[in-house]
Amino acid sequence: MGDCRRVGVAVDFSPCSRKALKWAIDNLTRSGDHLILVTVRPEGYYESGEMQLWEATGSPLIPLSDLTNAHIMKKYGLTPDPETLDMVSTAASQKEITVLMKIYWGDAREKLCESIDNVPLDSLVIGNRGLGKIKRAIMGSVSNFVVNNATCPVTVVKSHD
């Protein structure tokens, strides 16, 4: 890997995660970097597909060519939105960065922190959904947990609609 950086972005294909991804592409990535999209899927019973193979360790790093292949993504139980795919495809060619995806299954807070050490990541960008005080007290803020437990710098991109 040499001197290339591994910039992680937490992606769940929501408008909020697209905003974080756009921020990372515009402000953080530079030529030669690896942009790692980290996706966490809920745990559950998966009859078939890649989920059973990789549930404990997370998926292997998935290249951009597979990310844009709907058939391959279906094996992982994912349907990336066209806007996200367009954003990363454009960034890959224009900024000369390598785009990869890593999928985990389980609790988003724990798995995002795990990804930092497993991939490993030099930094992580995460969106915040702006749940409000009551929902955040009940559900706990993923971004807050990650900021307090991550072993690398974390940037939280606020989404103000």
Average pLDDT rounded to a whole number, residues 57-76: 92
Give the range of the structural domain holding residue 131, as residue numbers without chain letter.
6-158
**Please, which pLDDT band fits residue 130 given cuts at 50, 70 and 90?**
low
pLDDT at 139 over 70: no
- Look at residue 1 and tell me if it is in a domain: no
Question: What is the chain's length?
Answer: 161
How many folded domains does the chain comprise?
Answer: 1
pLDDT digits over 70-114, tens only? 999 988 888 999 999 999 999 999 999 999 999 998 899 999 999
- Look at residue 137 and tell me if it is in a domain: yes
- Nearest Cα to Cα of residue 127 among 113, 139, 117, 142: 142
On average, the pLDDT of the chain sits at 88
CATH number of the CATH domain containing 62: 3.40.50.620
pLDDT at 143 over 60: yes
Q: Report the share of the chain in percent with pLDDT over 90.
A: 66
pLDDT at 51 over 60: yes
Residue 49, classed as helix, strand or coil, is: coil
Q: How many CB atoms lie within 10 A of CB 1?
A: 8
Handedness of CA 13, 19, 22, 23 (dihedral sign): negative
- CA separation for the pair 107, 121 (Å, rounded): 19
- Nearest Cα to Cα of residue 132 among 106, 153, 161, 155: 161
